[in-house]
Structure 1
Amino acid sequence: MTSVIKYMSLLTTFSVFAALISIVWQAFLSLKQLNKVTTILTGLLALESSFKKPPQPYKVAVGYGACTDLLVHATEFLNYSEKVINAIGPEFTVNEVDNMNELLQTFAYYFQNGAAAERIMPNKKLFRELIQTAKLRHRDSIQWFLGGNAPLMSTRFHIEGADVLLGARMSHKLRRLVPAEIKIAGDQIAEDDIHLILEYKAGDTWGPIKTPRANRYILHSDRNNPHMNSVEHFDKVLHSFRPRLLVISGLQMMDSYKFEPYVRERRLEKIQQQINSQAFATLIHFEMASYVEIKLLFLLRQYVMPYVDSIGMNEQELENLRQTLTYGRTTLATDWNPRVASTLDQMRSVFKNLAESYYKNATKLPRRRLLSRIHVHTLAYQALLTVRDSKWKRTKLAAAKAALTAHRHVCQTDMINPEAASLILDESFATSAEDKLNGSRIKLNPQQPVPCWNETIAVFDQKAVPIEICVSPVLVCRIAKKTAGAGDNISAAALSQQL
């Protein structure tokens, strides 16, 4: 009996000792990680502070459209339905959402993948009912914001010191949310379009589904934005404004919208004419979005992409664009945290495809531009590809600025607290998953957190285009407060450093 008691006593002592060791070890790892995050933050802030603003602010013009964002917590707003969710098959795809079952199914699909999504709801009666439900049942938790890619990017450019022209039609009420210094080309309307933003945080559960990351599902039923009515208003002012940068955004509002025959093509032709009326000294950036209709993506490939210098997008939009250019199809949700190597390979593929098209058709279509910049923003990192000796400057700085802006926007803070951030990017990454022979492995140096390197990409007729690639780790916000508008702010912040 005495030996049993001694044995139990030793076992208890050992268990307590093991628990203490585990606690100390976890504390050591946490302290080590905090030190690493702090060092990376110091390096990113040093890069940001190295930027010297020009004596005269650059002129930036941003189109098109505006809306009001109504933000509500997704899992509190939508009631989980096992019967509806179980009806999702392996070939599930919904381009537009016309009833509650389709809303629940599409939300479930993107929620479980932690992927951003944007869908049109042609059923305007149901959309109004959803807005009223949010106003009445969730009035204590809903939030109203200025919305639309163009207004959000314009506001960020203004914050970064640019002289901004915005092409948008909006109500007097919405105009008050736009900084007064921003010039607006567009008439006043009585009622703004509303976008319903269903946000969720990392680890949120909906029925048995748990999401891996914070993100949002956007639902809209616009009357104004799909017609791009601000284009003509923008045109009247754009020529005399003479911007250094023209940003094209908001074209996803045409996605799956029912137009009369050829109306959409004519509107895109007008946008193409507006782009091509700019001097070659004016840089053109196209901001991608969540597109689902392959026909519209083909139209963008014809009317917009050959005439821009830069494209910005997230990891899902990148894969969608690559699939469209390479295989003529779209994709749904992708990996929410893709490997750097995979993203870089997709970026090279998109660049190669558009560059080859440029060299094949440059003499036939003299207003075409060689794509010289791709920016991909993901949860874990920012990746920038620029053509060397192009008009784009300070690629490393832009990557750092994008990473800092990502944390600040999602955490809704100007001051970054290392304890409120986590690092998802691995300690090292491969530069290519497809070309292991010429690829390399880069180890992340916390003291110099933005690695850059040079490559060449072989395109049409054996022409080799020299490029620079920079990758910056993102200090991921531990408790996301706002994901809607993150991409717009990130893209605009990076662009502001490269003019």
Structure 2
Amino acid sequence: MTAAIKYMGWITGCSVFTAFISIIWQAFLSLQALNRTTVLLTGLLALEGGLRDFKKAAYEPAPKIAIGYGACTDLQINATEFLAHYKMQIPTVSPDLIADEVHNEKQLVESFAYYFKNGAAAERVMPNTTLFKELIEFAKAMDKQHWYMGGNAPLMAVRFVLEGADVLLGAHMSKKLRPLLPKEVRVAGEEIPEDDIHLILEYKAGDIWGPYLAPRANRYILHNDKNNPFLKSVEHLTEALKSFHPQLLVISGLQMMDMFKFKAGVREARLRQVQLQLTSQRRDTLHHFEFASYVELQLLQQLRQYVLPYVDSLGMNEQELSNLRQVLQHGRTTLATDWNPRIANTLDQMRQVFISFLEDFHDKRREDTQRRLISRIHVHTMAYQAIMTIANSKWKHTKAAAAKASLTAHRYVCKTQFVNPESAMQMLDDSFATSAQEKAPRMRIDSANPVPCWNEYIQYGHDLQRIQVEICVAPVLVCRVAKKTAGAGDNISASGLVAQL
């Protein structure tokens, strides 16, 4: 009996000691992670501040930026709470069941469940006006709801102003929405009686809906727009550009034309007006196209024909990058992809997209002298920012731009201007491969080099011509408790663009 008691005492003592060591070890790891985050934050802030001081010392005037098109009102609610109160039946997820359009409740929950499970952002049109209005009224009745000014162009315009730019916005909006814009933003577009509403179903990492767990914070957007698909402000913006003479023209919001039922030839005619707007600008005006969640292959092919050949820069997230690559190389679209892709895979996809545009430009520039060569691609993911520019192009300060985009990501999602290391986490290791190819060089992320940059040559064409590019990758200090994801990409892209002018 005495031996058994001694044995049990020895077991208990060992358990307590093991638990104590485990607690100390976990505390040590947490302290190490906090120290690494603090060091990295210091490096990112130094790059951001250095760029600000450089521009101030150089007496650079405020960059002039024009952006279109459209605006809306965002009604943001918690996705899982909304669906639970609405008592929608939880479906079985199958990619084969995902509809391009959402006509009824069954298609809504099937589509939402798929993107929720994959942690992917999605935006879908709901042609069923009756059901859409019912969902809006139900959302209005919920205790926790938030109303915001929405639309890619207005959100980017606000960010441009915050970063010190002189901004012209092409958008049609109501008297109620206009005061939400900073007074510094000039608006080219008609006043409308009522704004389109977008229903934003937001969810956080770890949210549960039935058997599904969200791997990251994101959003699912529903819309039933009556104004934005027609790009009504294009002509107004084109006229205003004649006297504004921007340094940068940004095209966004064209995803609102996705799956919309136009009369024959109407959409093509509107896209030709966008093309005319682009080609009528001075050659020294840079053009940027901001991607979004596109579904319809025909629209993407039309963008490739009428719009993309006339821009210098592309902005997108990891889902949109994969979709664009599929369209360019295989003529098809894709559903949700890896929500946290390896840097090596993202960089390879960026190279493939860049090569496709390079080859297209060199094949067709003689027959169309207005065409432009893509000289900048910015991909923003939850874990990092990757910016590729043609070396010695008009795009400046790539390293600082990546750092700025990274800090903007944290500040926007956490809804704070102060970046607290304890509120952030890193998802990247101390080094990464620059390609998924064998023996690809590796880059380190450390206090001396928080944003690794390097130059490389990319080969293209049958005769294997070469062009030199600069690539910078900035780790993101991921917000631990996301407060808002809708509009994050717009703010991230806008802050990176301003930094490079």
**Aligned counterpart, 2:109:** 104
Matched, 1:478 2:480: yes
SS at match of 2:180: coil
1:242 corresponds, among 225, 245, 248, to 245
1:299 corresponds, among 298, 302, 322, to 302
Distance 1:144 1:325, change over 3 A: same
- The 1-side partners of 2:358 and 2:295 are apart by 24
1:280 corresponds, among 269, 280, 283, to 283
1:55 is displaced (CA, Å) by 3.4
Instruction: Give the TM-score normalised by the residue count of structure 1.
Output: 0.98
- The 1-side partners of 2:98 and 2:299 are apart by 16
1:141-220 to 2 correspondences below 5 Å: 141-220=144-223
Distance 1:82 1:127, change over 3 A: closer
- The 1-side partners of 2:174 and 2:117 are apart by 37
Matched, 1:346 2:349: yes
1:393-408 to 2 correspondences below 5 Å: 393-408=396-411
Distance 1:89 1:417, change over 3 A: closer
1:324 corresponds, among 324, 327, 344, to 327
1:98-144 deviation line (CA, Å, top 9, x unaligned): 111111010000000000000000001110110000111x1x31000
1:84 is displaced (CA, Å) by 5.4
Maintained 8 Å contact 1:193/1:224:
yes
**Aligned counterpart, 1:259:** 262
1:493 corresponds, among 492, 495, 499, to 495
1:244-264 deviation line (CA, Å, top 9, x unaligned): 000000000000000000100
2:91 corresponds, among 81, 85, 91, to 85
**Aligned counterpart, 1:358:** 361
1:335-484 to 2 correspondences below 5 Å: 335-433=338-436, 435-437=437-439, 439-460=440-461, 461-484=463-486
1:83 is displaced (CA, Å) by 6.0
**Aligned counterpart, 2:47:** 47
SS at match of 1:28: helix
1:217-240 deviation line (CA, Å, top 9, x unaligned): 000000000000000111110111
**Any stretches of 5+ residues in structure 2 without a counterpart?**
none
SS at match of 2:483: coil
Query: Quick one: which amino acid aligns to residue 483 of structure 2?
Result: K
SS at match of 2:195: coil
1:41 is displaced (CA, Å) by 0.1
SS at match of 2:176: helix
Matched, 1:94 2:94: no
1:426 is displaced (CA, Å) by 1.9
Instruction: Give the TM-score normalised by the residue count of structure 2.
Output: 0.97
Matched, 1:65 2:67: no
1:443 is displaced (CA, Å) by 2.1
Distance 1:227 1:312, change over 3 A: same
RMSD: 1.1
- The 2-side partners of 1:320 and 1:372 are apart by 20
Query: Quick one: which amino acid aligns to residue 17 of structure 1?
Result: F
1:82 is displaced (CA, Å) by 8.9
1:446 is displaced (CA, Å) by 3.3
- The 2-side partners of 1:133 and 1:491 are apart by 33
Identity %: 62
SS at match of 1:172: coil
